Amino acid sequence: MSKTLDNIIEAFPEASFLTADGFDNCIIGLEVMSMRLIYSKSKIVMQLVSEGFTLEEAFEHFNYNVEGSYVGQFTPIWFDVFYSKSKCSCILVFYVFLQSHFKIPPS
């Protein structure tokens, strides 16, 4: 278990969280309204590369097997930060996989 996940569990001892198997070290936070864990897409991809995937294979594996897996209303949030050198700006992109029939109810 990662320090981040330990801190989240300590802060919310009554809650249960849906985790992505093998990627505890890629957790970067919690969306408290929905109680969904937030994972770093780039950390997951780099972990897959360190496990022997090529970069292309790691992205494909992540997109199909991780991000593409909907497991209910507590499906984790996939988050990444993209930097644009030409515009010197940072665009925050949330990766939330939602099946077309699934809608998150308002909090």
pLDDT at 93 over 50: no
Number of other residues whose CB lies within 10 A of the CB of residue 25: 15
Question: In a 3-state reduction of DSSP, which class is residue 94?
Answer: strand
Q: What is d(CA 38, CA 26) in angstroms, rounded to the nearest whole number?
A: 9
Q: Which pLDDT value is given to residue 80?
A: 80
pLDDT digits (tens, 9 = 90+) for 44-92: 999 999 999 999 999 999 999 998 888 888 999 998 865 555 544 443 3
pLDDT digits (tens, 9 = 90+) for 16-29: 999 999 999 999 99
Half-sphere exposure of 19 (CA within 13 A, CB side): 17
> What pTM value is reported for the model?
0.74
Q: What is d(CA 16, CA 73) in angstroms, rounded to the nearest whole number?
A: 13
Question: In a 3-state reduction of DSSP, which class is residue 71?
Answer: coil
